Structures are given as structure tokens and as C-alpha cells.
Structure 1
Amino acid sequence: MAETSITRQRLGHLLLKFPYECLGLDLSGVARGKYIRVVLEHLWRLIRNPNSALNHRKRAQVILITLAFSATTAASGLGYVVYGLISRLRADSFNKRKPIMRRTRSQVMLDNGARVMYVPYEENVNNKKRILIRPKNDDMYEHDKFLFKYFGKNKVSQVFYSKFISQLSIIYRILVPKFTDRNSFLITFQIFFLIMRTWLSLFVARLDGQIVKDIISGKGKKFLVDLLCWFLIAFPASYTNSAIKFLQRKLSLNFRINLTRYIHDMYLDKRLAFYKLTFDSQASSSVIANIDNSITSDVTKFCDAICSVFANIAKPVIDLIFFSVYLRDNLGTIGIGGIFVNYFITGYILKRWTPPLGMLVSKRSAAEGDYYNYHLNLINNTEEIAFYHGTKVERTKVNALYDYLMDQMLLVDRVKINYNILEDYVLKYTWSALGYIFASIPIVVTTITTGVNNEEVNMREFIVNKRLMLSLADAGSRLMHSFKDIAQLTGYTNRIFTLLAVLHRVHSADFNYGAIVDEDKDSKITSGPLTNTETVRGTVQRSFNGIRLENIDVIIPSKHGKEGTKLINKLRFQIPPVITLDNTNSDSQLNISQKLMFQSPGSSMLILGPNGCGKTSIQRIVAEIWPIYNKNGLLSVPGASELFCIPQKPYFIQGGTFREQIIYPMSADTFFDLGHRDKELVHVLGEVKLDYLLKRGKGWQYLDAVAEWKDVLSGGERQRMNFARIMFHKPRFAVLDEATNAISGDMEDYLFNLLKRYRFNFITISQRPSLIKYHDLALEIGGDESWRLQDLGTDEAITSIEKEIETLEDKLENVNTWEEERSALTKKLAHI
């Protein structure tokens, strides 16, 4: 017990003596409960009083900085723990309610256009985090398109012009849309921590020199005190480095979020920019050819590169400023001037020998996109390639693309060899040698002028100057290294800018489908900037009580505009033939299970013609994805909810449920929000004879099954799914393009009679005259821009049908002859 008491007394004596040795603070006579307040007040006085001892003031700074960072870390950790506990308690209380029927929607669209998403977090799927996504501002894209459209128009008249800086300044408005944006605060915090790291580096350099001086002078107590300060300052220094890395990564992710949302809102909206991109004659670069790679890979690389370049430039610049100011007192103005002259000479040499990394990186990204795209093509067409046994051809093509990619990647590394040799020699070895020279200047000058060689002071000054010179050299070398990063960023910036410029051009309401018009030729007439109305002049009337085409030239969109390939001349038809102004016949609000039909009889038309005559092009014009070039052309279509277009190739959502395939293009959230139930889908499947699919699962649970439905369903089943979509959405008008070419004759007869039974108005595009019996009108398209519309109830139509029947009967008479020829050929083949 006595030894323990003696040990406690000694420890207490040391604790009381330590503040005096370290800070000059005598705590004897101070109550224990007041130790912390007295120490903090003394530390604050030491920092604010310029007359206090230098060593004490420096140590006070170390202790206060350490305490501040420790308190910040503790508060952040405590806040995170409290937030986690509150979130967990809220989730547990919600789960305890256990409602009988509960559906957690993935997202909800608000009235103002904003979206509320519920994202699962942690391992419990019931724990969902609410995220609010701001509404899309369509006016912003219309305004921003001028920044991209007129980029670089007046660069000749400018005194200084940099394509890279100009492009980056425009993209920066997307990354940081306003001054109060959270990315602005992240940039501010990053600059703060960069300055803090530089100041701490300067402080550590001084402390390093002081420790060396303590060792040489043999002052053990001061050595221990300064070593303790070294361990204390290590915590905020480590914290600062980690904070800089975290902020850089966070800023990169935020940039990527802003840029990706900006691209998605233009690329995937009601103007169908994702489809119209194929018609933009100016978008021939690899950026648009491999737009999937540009949106995913290039955006990520660009955001990482710009944040990395910012940190690699900001940190050296801050270091140069701080270290130069401090070294000026030791080396003088001439020494600092010599250092910066060395930097400028080095920068000029490295800039002159820097390879064109921006162009090489852009080519490498294009090669990566081509290689990725071809593999995607293989995945999407595996069955067709297998049927053709095209493995050898595909392997040759893939190997060629891979070899080209490897050449581009090796080319980037190959052109860096000479540059890296020069860079390492200058930055690592030449600058280090010059650092020793500059660091020794004040010691040599002081020794010569005074004739006294104070080894302790000289050693301390040399250690401090050497450390700062090395840090200054490191800052300069990182600044020179950033030339390569800037060159690579230039390539990524150009690709992203090209992508955004093309999207703005295609997304514009004045998009001319890639038509190239001679502005000089038309300027005499228009005496102003060329607009899209001089290329696409047709008129579209919406919310019409039918489908009507008046004097429409069906022209393939191309760079030739209205002078392009014309498929059909002055097309004119109307469905139904007689238009009523009463629009109360819509069945969109009725439940199909009630067997209610449209109150007026449905009209139907069959479009016949050979391949390439423009049958599908008519559907594209009706769907408003192709333009109307001629000025007197008029297209009248019903509202979007009243028109349903069925393409030749049925589409199925990748990774979607069976329910989502039936209700497409309606989302599952909207399906339930509108009050629909699964029993409606079961009835629809029964109407198109697909209800047997539900037997593959446990009753209606098959509607929740997720699969690659384009592979699970057969060709006929996929086409019947299109009819199921028509029966679910109940549009008044439907356009079907080769919708039954994979369906058996009896099922085809049933489906068309089903459409007529429910009195749908529909247009069928086909090459089979046998479908005439299901339609009221027939539009025959010739191969020479001609067309003929006839009523199938007229004598002329009946005569035409009779001629078609006679032609088929004549062909049937030759069946026996053809069978005999086939048998003879089979026998010859057997003998061979």
C-alpha cells in the first residue's frame, strides 16, 4: 500500500510539473475541478499574446488544434450514432404495425414534377431512406443549348482563347449550378483543409528542426516535450489528409450525380432524344456511336479527373505560397526568385515535351467503347449467331477490336517513356540538388559574414530549410505532374462536351433530323439565322378524334432533308372515315372485365405493300418520331392515351416482372396508384389465350416473377403479349406493324375478331392480303411513291379480292406438279 501511495504521489507530481515544463503554467494550488478551465484559458492567452515564449506559443497551438479536431471528430461520431439510433427506432416502430396489405413504392412523382425515392439501406429491406429529387426544369435545357450551340463562334476576335477552359467553364455550370449549391460548400471545405494541411506541414517542419536541435544540444526534457507535441500534431494532420481524400471522392460523386441526371433528363424524356440521335448527321463521332460508354464510363472518368486535377493543382499552389513566404525570411528575395525561375524553366521544358495525351486518351476511350459495344451486340444476338455458326467471324472481329484497344492503351504508355525520363531527372534529382544549394545559402552567408559557426543553430536552420525546400520541390513537381493530368482531362472534357452538345441539339424542339442546309444560299431570302422551320414544315394536330394524314410526303430523314429519299408521295387517308366531334366514347376509364365496348363501331385499315415501300414509315409518322417535311402536310392524331403503336419487334423490360411486361409502358407504381388490380391482368391474359402462363407459378404469384421474358416467351407468345397490352390500356386507336406474322392462322383469326368485338379502331401493316377480311379499308403502297386507298365494301374492292383468290387458286393447281419435281430431285440427291 505504501509503494502504491508513493507511485500515485510521483505521478501527480509529474502531471503538475508537465504543464509548467511544456507551457509555463503552474497548477499548484489550483483545485482539480478547475484544471481544464485554467489550462484552456492559459492556452488561449499564449496564442493571442505575441510576447509569450515562442516554444510555449507553438506548443499551445499544437494542443489547441489537437483538441479542436478531437472534439469535432467526437461530435461527428456522436451525431452519426444518434441519427442511426433514431432511424432504427423509427423503422422498428413502423415494422411493429404489421399492416395486412402494405406496398412500399420505389418512387412517387409529386405534383410539381419532383420525385420521392425510397432506397433500401443496410441489410433489412424494410429500412428505406427517403430521397427527394428536384423537379426537372425544361426551360433550363432550352437556355443551356445556346451555350453549346454557339460555342467558339467568336473565338477569333478574342485576345486569349482556350478551347479546354471554355468547355470546362460551360460544363462547370452543370456541376455547380449555383453559388449556394452543396458542391460549393464541399469545394470550400476542401480548400480549407488544403490550407490547413499546408499550415500543419509548415508547423511540422519547424517542429522537426526543433527536435533535431534538442538532440544535438542534449536537452532531454525539451526533446521529450517536443516529441509529445509531435505525437499530438499527428492526429489533426492525419485527420486533415483523410478529410481531403473523403471530400475529393464525395465531390466526384456529386459531380457525377449532377452530370448524369442532366444527361438522363435530356436523353430519356418525351422528346425521344435517345431515338433521334441516330438521325443527327453531325453526331458521327465515337462519343455518340458508343453513347452507352460515354454516359457510364466517360462521365465517371471525367468527374474523377477534374476533382483529382483540382486537388493536384490547389495543394501545390497553396504550398508554394505558404512555403515561399516562410522561406523568404531565411533565403531572401534572391533565393525565392531563383526557385521560381527554376520552376518556370522546368515548366516550359516539360510543356514543350508533353505528348498529346488528350487526343490519345480520347482515342483510347473510343476504342474501349467499340470493344464494349461489340460484346453487348454478341450478348443480344447469341441465338442468331449460334444458328449461323458465326463463331469464327465474331472471334475475328472481337480480336481485331481488342488488338486495336491494346494498341491504343500501349500507345499512351509508350509516348510517356521519354517524358517520364525527363520528368524524373528534372523533378526528382535536379530539384533535390538545387534544394540543397538553396538551403545552404543562408548558413554559408551567415558563417562568412560573422565568422562564427554555430552548429546547433545552423543544423536547426538547415533541417527546417531542407524540409521546406523538399516540400516546396514536391509541390512544384506535383504541379508539373499535373500537366499530364490536365492533358488527360482535356480529352475527357472534349468527349463530355461533345455528348452534351449533341444532346442539346437533338433535344431541341427545332431539331431538323440532321438536315444540312446551305445557310449562305438561303441567307438572301431569310436575311437571318437559319431555323428548323425551313427544313421541317409540316403541321401536327393533336387531340383529334381519329387519325388523319393530309398530303404527307413520306421521306426518310437524312442530311438531305426534304430532298432525301421519298417513299410515298402526297399520302392521304383518315380513320375513321367519318369524324364525329363527340369524344365521350373513350373507354379509358372503364374496366375491361365488365365486357364494355366502344359505343361506336370501330374502323380498321390494312396497309399492304412490298418490303421497303414505306409501310412502317407511315407508323413512324403517326407516332411522331419521323418529321413531316412538306409545308402543306398535316398529321392529326388523338391524345397520347388514345393511341397505341405496336412495333414489329415486341419489346420487354430487362429484369422486369411479368406484370410489368403486360402493363408496359405503365409503371408498377402507377398501376397500383390508379387502383388497378391483378385480376384485370388475369382477365386480359384469358382474352388473348395466355392465361396458361400463370400455371407455371403458384397462381397469380407468377405476375411477380422476374425473368428475361424475351427469351422465356416464344415468338407467338411475345406477339400475343402486344395484344394483351392493347386490351389492358384500351386505346381507341392502335397501329399494328406485322403483329401476327409469328402467330398461327386460327389464333390470328381470333385476335383480329377480338379487336373488332371490342370495337377498337386499328391500322394493320402487313404483306399478307389474307388479312383483308378483318378490315374495312385497304391502302396499297407501290414501289414508285404511288398508293391506292379503297373501301373493302365497294365493287372494286370485291373484284380485287376475287382476283387475289383466283391467283391463289391458280397457284394451288400447280401443287401436284411441284410435288413431282420435288420427288425427282430427292431421288437424284439420294443417288449422289
Structure 2
Amino acid sequence: MIVVSLPILLATKPKSKDDNVSERTHYFTTAKNLLITGSNAVERLMSSYKDVVELAGHTARVATMFTVLEEASRGIYHKTLVAKKEKASEFEIEFRGDQPLAKGKLIYSTNHEIILINVPIVTPNCDIVCPSLSLHLTPGQHLLITGPNGCGKSSLFRILSGLWPVYGGELHTPKNSMFYIPQRPYMVIGNLRDQVIYPDTYADMINKQVTEEDLRKIMRMVHLEHIVERDTFHEVKDWTDILSGGEKQRMAIARLFYHKPKYALLDECTSAVSIDVESHIYQAAIDMGITLLTITHRPTLWKFHSHILQFDGTGYWEFSELNHHSRLDLKKEKEELLRAKDSAQKENRLSELNTLLCEDMTQ
């Protein structure tokens, strides 16, 4: 404004006959508007810089994800970090340049069995969590997986799901017969029906001859019928913000009941669900003929499993039948010891119980 006003206020040129106040005011107003518009444009440009940088970051991440998915489909994997040299392992990863070689065999079984023969559990940065794992599961053998944090429980699920490569041994899995449910399930953009049938589309649902009444029954099984009554299946909302943590986990279980796979890989997927509803859900899954592979710290779920796979956190494991009654007794003894006074006998017995239960001191 000052810059525009100075030539007018300090003008020394004699005024001509044609000069008038209205013309000078017109020029002044025009210049003022141009300056204001220009300053606003500069302000918007500066404020949008943060959004542009954020967009560039998201674009780079999406592009990297597409590249990794393309390479993974062709069996190409890269070592991204330096692996820790904490302990010697009987299994060693072979490299071609900086690319680790996945030399294991993935075989799709026709008898719906899961068989692991000397399969190592290896993280993306090539840390060997477990050098060799062998087990044999048949439909109806519900498996409980336990162990301290970082021992390879979730890593095993990623290998079974095909997210991570098989670096050695043989893995026999039924094709398209496993459904993985994480602790924090993904809510898609769409209506309520899309949340239940994900990753299917509405056309897939029609081809399977599934009706909305069938979806209502599933929602009742997971105690989410109130959402259907409130919003209907056709309501499009931001379900990530609308649903609570427990409702999201039950929605993921609803997807499991919709797809009815042979095996369900459950990774702490009911941690935010009440114990009574959780027990009802597990029993319903078993009644539907779904074989459960569960990672959980809740003793109330032990009774739904027939076998147990225990990792000790050092690369060793034990696969056996599960006697949930004796295991509950050990758990109760540990809880009583934790409440007792400190003593040498207490610490020794706690160490023994942690070894038997394959748990941390804090669990």
C-alpha cells in the first residue's frame, strides 16, 4: 500500500487538464488489488510446500511398494539392513551380490495339510530367528503358538501367508485356503458390506450366492448387529474412525466367517474383544470347520486348541499336544509366585515356569 501511495502523494509533475481524482483512484485500486492477489498467491504457495513434500513422500513409498511387490512376485528379495551377529546358526543364507537367495521349496498340497520341513524363519533384514522348523498340521488340529516377544511367532504367519520367502527346506500349504487376521485389521474405503466381504467385490459376493441376510447372520455371530441396524450395509463412511478397536477386530472375524477358509491365522486378533464374546467367536469358527492357528497371551483361549508350538526365543522350539488343564495350573502357580515375597526359591521356580510356558518374566 505504501509503495502504491508514494508516487501519488509525492508527485511533482504539473497536473494536466485531464487529470482527475477518479482516474488516480482507479489506478490506485487496481494496483492495490494486484498486490493483494500476488501476496495471497505467495502465501498459498508457501503454505502448500508442506503438503507437496508430504505428497512426494507418499508417492515415493507407494512407488517403492509396487516395486517390492513386483520383485517379490518374481522371487527377488533384497537385504535392506545389516543383520545382527548375536549367535551362530546352523543355517546360513546364500547371497548373489546383495540379493539373498530363497532356495526353499513352496509346494501347494492337495490334502489341505500344512507341512514344514526344516524351514528357517528369516526376517527381511536377514536375521535368522529360527534356523529350522518342522511340523505337520492336518485340518482339525488347532495350534496355539507361544513364546517371548521377537521369537518368530508373527514371522511364521508371514511365511505361511506367502508374504516372506522360504529360504530353505520345504513348505507344503493348501493354496488359497488360509486367511490371516492381524491385531489391527485394515478397514477399506466403501460401505459396510465392503468391510465384511473384503477383499471380495460385490460381484464376487453375488457369484458365491451370498445374500445380505447371510451377512446379517455373520454380523450377529460377531455381535455387530447394532451397526447394521444403525447404518445399513449401503452406508459409505470412514469406518477406520467410526469403529472402535474391538469392533474392528470383530469385523475382521466377520470376514473370516464370510470366506470360510480351511485355516485361520489369528495374530492377537481378539486382544480388544471381551472374553465372553471371544470364546463365542472361537467356538463358532471351530463349528464352521475352520482350523485355528493362534498367537495369544490369553489363557482363556487355550481350551480351543489341541496342539502347541512353543518358541523359547533362542531359536529352539517344541511342538506337542496341548493339555490346557496342566498349562493353566502352571499359569496359576506363576501368578501366585509373582504375588509372593521375593526369595531365591521364588526366582528359581519362576525361571522354571517361564521355561515351561515359554514366556517372558512380565507375561
Give TM-score scaled by structure 2 length: 0.68
Deviation (angstroms), 1:644: 0.8
Cα shift at 1:769: 3.8
| Aligned counterpart, 2:223 | 689
Residues 514 and 810 (structure 1), Cα distance of their counterparts in 2 relative to 1, 3 Å cut: closer
Q: Going by fraction, where is strand more abundant, 1 or 2?
A: 2
Deviation at residue 501 of structure 1 after TM alignment: 11
Q: Give the equivalent residue in structure 2 for 1:782.
A: 312
Match of 1:737 among 255, 267, 271: 267
> Of the candidates 290, 294, 304, which is equivalent to residue 764 of structure 1?
294
1:648 alignment partner in structure 2: 183
Match runs of 1:349-498 below 5 Å: 370-372=53-55
Q: Quick one: which of 167, 175, 185 aligns to 1:629?
A: 167
Q: In the TM superposition, what is the alpha-carbon distance from 1:812 to its structure 2 partner?
A: 5.8
The CA distance in 1 between the partners of 2:69 and 2:295, in whole Å, is 34
Q: Residue in 2 aligned with 1:566?
A: 128
Query: Equivalent residue of 1:676, what SS?
Result: coil
Match of 1:657 in 2: 191
**Correspondence 1:669 to 2:203:** yes
User: 1:620 offset after TM fit, Å?
Assistant: 0.3
Deviations 1:96-135 (A, max 9, x none): xxxxxxxxxxxxxxxxxxxxxxxxxxxxxxxxxxxxxxxx
CA contact (8 A) 1:554 1:618 kept: yes
1:482-537, Cα deviation, whole Å (9 max, x unpaired): xxxxxxxxxxxxx9xx9799569625513133479xxxxxxxxxxxxx69997110
- Take 2:327 and 2:229, find their aligned partners in 1: how far apart are those partners? 46
Gapped regions of structure 2 (runs ≥ 5): 1-48, 82-95, 342-363
Matches within 5 A, 1:284-323: none
2:78–2:98 contact (8 Å) kept in structure 1:
no
Aligned to 1:229: none
Q: Deviations over 1:685-729 (max 9, x none)?
A: 1111211212214xxxx1000001111111111111111111111
**Structure 1 residue 809: deviation in Å?**
3.6
Q: Is the 8 A contact 2:196 2:255 kept in 1?
A: yes
For the 8 Å contact 2:79–2:100, the answer to whether it is kept is no
Deviation at 1:657, TM superposition (A): 0.7
| Shift, 1:637, TM fit | 1.0
What are the superposed Cα offsets for residues 529-583 of structure 1, whole Å, 9 maximum, x if unpaired?
A: x69997110000114412222211111123xxxxx3111121122222xx7xxxx
Aligned pairs (5 A) from 1:129-278: none
736-745 vs 530-539, greater mean Cα deviation = 530-539
Seen in structure 2, the aligned counterparts of structure 1 residues 706 and 783 have a Cα distance that, compared at 3 Å, is same
Q: How many Å separate the matches in 2 of 1:749 and 1:774? A: 9
- The residue number in structure 1 matching 2:242 is 712
**1:808 corresponding residue in structure 2:** 335
Task: State the Cα distance separating 1:742 from its structure 2 match.
Answer: 0.5
Q: Do the aligned partners of 1:648 and 1:737 also contact (CA within 8 Å) in 2?
A: yes
Q: What residue number does 1:617 align with?
A: 155
Give the aligned CA root-mean-square deviation in angstroms. 3.2
Query: How far apart are the structure 2 equivalents of 1:665 and 1:566?
Result: 32
- Map of 1:127 onto structure 2: none
d(CA) in 1 for partners of 2:165, 2:105: 9
Q: Which residue number corresponds to residue 542 of structure 1?
A: 108
> How big is each residue's C-alpha offset from its partner over 1:33-76, in whole Å with a ceiling of 9 and x where there is no partner?
xxxxxxxxxxxxxxxxxxxxxxxxxxxxxxxxxxxxxxxxxxxx
Deviation sequence 1:414-452 (CA, Å, 0-9, x none)? xxxxxxxxxxxxxxxxxxxxxxxxxxxxxxxxxxxxxxx
Is contact 1:511-1:532 (8 Å) kept?
Answer: no
Letter aligned with residue 192 of structure 2? F
Return closer, same or farther for 1:747/1:534 CA change in 2, 3 Å cut-off. Answer: closer
In 1, Cα distance between equivalents of 2:161 and 2:117: 15
More helix by share: 1
Q: CA–CA distance in 2 between the matches of 1:557 and 1:499?
A: 15
Which position in structure 1 is the counterpart of 2:15?
Answer: none
**1:384-429: per-residue Cα shift (whole Å, max 9, x none)?**
xxxxxxxxxxxxxxxxxxxxxxxxxxxxxxxxxxxxxxxxxxxxxx
The one-letter amino acid paired with 2:77 is N
**1:784–1:499 Cα change, 3 Å:** closer
- Cα distance in 1, alignment partners of residues 294 and 73 from structure 2: 32
**For residues 69 and 285 of structure 2, what CA distance do their matches in structure 1 show?**
41
SS of residue in 2 equivalent to 1:704 = coil
Question: How far off is 1:772 after superposition?
Answer: 1.5
Q: Residue 510 of structure 1: which of 70, 75, 81 is its match? A: 75
Q: Distance in 2 between matches of 1:373 and 1:646?
A: 31
Q: Which has the larger radius of gyration?
A: 1
Q: Which residue of 1 aligns with 2:124?
A: 557
CA 1:784–1:512: 2 relative to 1, 3 Å? same
CA change 1:755–1:533 in 2 (3 A) is same
User: Relative to 1, partners in 2 of residues 1:806 and 1:666: Cα closer, same or farther, differing over 3 Å?
Assistant: same
Query: Secondary structure at 2:236's aligned position in 1?
Result: coil
Distance in 2 (CA, whole Å) between partners of 1:650 and 1:716 is 10
Distance of aligned partners of 1:788 and 1:369 in 2 relative to their CA distance in 1, 3 Å threshold: farther
Q: 1:546 touches 1:733 (CA, 8 Å); kept in 2?
A: no
- Separation in 2 of the partners of 1:812 and 1:542? 49
Structure 1 residues 811 and 541: CA distance shift in structure 2, 3 A: same
Aligned to 1:740, the other structure's residue is in SS state coil
The answer (yes or no) to whether the contact 2:79–2:99 under 8 Å persists in 1 is no
Cα distance in structure 1, aligned partners of 2:66 and 2:214: 45
The corresponding residue for 1:638 is 174
C-alpha distance in 1 between matches for 2:270 and 2:66:
41
Q: Is the 8 A contact 1:607 1:780 kept in 2?
A: yes
Q: Is the 8 A contact 1:536 1:627 kept in 2?
A: yes
Sequence identity of aligned pairs in percent?
A: 29
Report how far residue 771 of structure 1 moved. 2.4
Measure, in 1, the Cα distance between the counterparts of 2:257 and 2:73. 35
Q: Structure 1 length normalisation: TM-score? A: 0.31
C-alpha distance in 2 between matches for 1:503 and 1:571: 26
Output the amino acid matched with 1:647: P
Task: State how far apart, in whole Å, the 1-side matches of 2:334 and 2:288 are.
Answer: 33
Structure 1 distance, partners of 2:66, 2:291, is 41
Check 1:369–1:604 CA distance in 2 against 1; reply closer, same or farther (3 A cut).
Answer: farther
Equivalent-residue separation in structure 1 for 2:314 and 2:305 (angstroms): 25
Structure-2 separation of matches of 1:798 and 1:613 = 25
State the number of aligned residues: 276
For residue 673 of structure 1, report the CA deviation from its aligned partner: 3.5
Q: Match of 2:174, as an amino acid?
A: P
Partner of 2:44: none
Cα 1:508–1:665 change in 2 (3 A) is closer
Whether the aligned pair in 1 keeps the contact of 2:76 and 2:99 (CA below 8 Å) is no
SS of the equivalent of 2:233 reads: helix
Tell me, in whole angstroms, the C-alpha distance in 2 between the residues paired with 1:372 and 1:535. Answer: 34
Amino acid paired to 2:122: I
**Shift, 1:373, TM fit:** 6.0
- Aligned partners of 1:509, 1:537: CA distance in 2, in Å? 13
Distance in 1 separating the partners of 2:258 and 2:74 = 32
- Closer, same or farther: CA 788–661 of 1 in aligned 2, 3 Å: same
1:223-272: CA deviations, max 9, x gaps?
Answer: xxxxxxxxxxxxxxxxxxxxxxxxxxxxxxxxxxxxxxxxxxxxxxxxxx
Range 542-551 or range 500-509, more displaced? 500-509
